[in-house]
A and B are shown apart, each in its own frame.
Chain A
């Protein structure tokens, strides 16, 4: 098993980033389900947490979270394609580059919107 996973190169990097981004999103989900639960039982405390999310540090964190989520989602599609269409494994490298095209194309504009209020003074 380790032999399959640790061949090195593009495939291993794609796999390692998938794992790290997945664990990062999992950790945030524990926090996030908890804070949404707070919104019902203690709205005032939830609003304090929200102020943290809307702060410059919070926005930087959300941009990182979005990056992890977007990479995991796009590379996850790549994994599914190769799982159900094994012949595509020959093109795993090209598929990974396609993941990055989507990542930059979708991620940069979204990061711009999230981070914008830091400079324009909103939020």
Chain B
């Protein structure tokens, strides 16, 4: 039974993959509430954008394996959450061949972006601790 709320996407009644996406969107949403807001505060309040040169990223942010792990976790969650969210928007406003094409394009961009982000966080050379 899907409770009628005026807030978000109703819980898919059919179960399966769509229901899993629905739950995962909420789960990643909770994770990102901490990770994304925390990230924004670190990069805009704790540190000013003016100091965050490429060298600063190597020295201060990604000199630690823990922060790389946290940032990669955030990357994974944000790619799923945002691209599945845009997929819901596409499903609301498009049909047929256009929807199929745009959805495939969306998945392609998501995969490329996830690969780029993973490459960046995993391959950046940091000073040996």
Contact: B117 with A46, CB < 8 Å? no
CA distance A100 to B116 in the complex (A): 36
User: Among the listed A39, A40, A62, which residue makes an inter-chain contact with B44, where contact means beta carbons less than 8 Å apart?
Assistant: A62
A122: Cβ under 8 A from any B Cβ: yes
Contact: A40 with B5, CB < 8 Å? no
CA distance A54 to B44 in the complex (A): 10
Q: In the complex, which residue of chain B has the Cβ closest to the Cβ of A89? A: B5
Cβ–Cβ < 8 Å partners of B54 in chain A: 39-40, 43-44, 46-47, 50
B-side interface mostly: helix
Contact: B50 with A122, CB < 8 Å? yes
B81 to A: closest C-beta gap in Å: 9
Cβ–Cβ < 8 Å partners of B86 in chain A: 22-23, 26
Binary interface profile of A, 34-72, with partner B (CB < 8 Å = 1, else 0)? Answer: 101101100110110010011000110010001001100
Interface residues on B, range: 35 or more
Interface centre among B30, B109, B116 (most CB of A within 10 A): B116
CA distance A7 to B117 in the complex (A): 40
Contact: A66 with B40, CB < 8 Å? yes
Contacts A89-B5, A122-B50 hold; do A113 and B82 have CB atoms under 8 A apart?
no
Interface positions of B from 79 to 96, Cβ below 8 Å from A: 79, 82-83, 85-86, 89, 92
Contacts A47-B54, A110-B44 hold; do A11 and B7 have CB atoms under 8 A apart?
yes
Chain B residues within CB distance 8 Å of chain A: 3-8, 10-11, 26, 29-30, 32-33, 36-37, 40-41, 44-45, 48-50, 52-55, 57, 75, 78-79, 82-83, 85-86, 89, 92, 109, 113, 116-117, 119-121, 123-124
What 3 A-B pairs come out closest when comparing CB atoms?
A43-B54, A11-B6, A86-B3
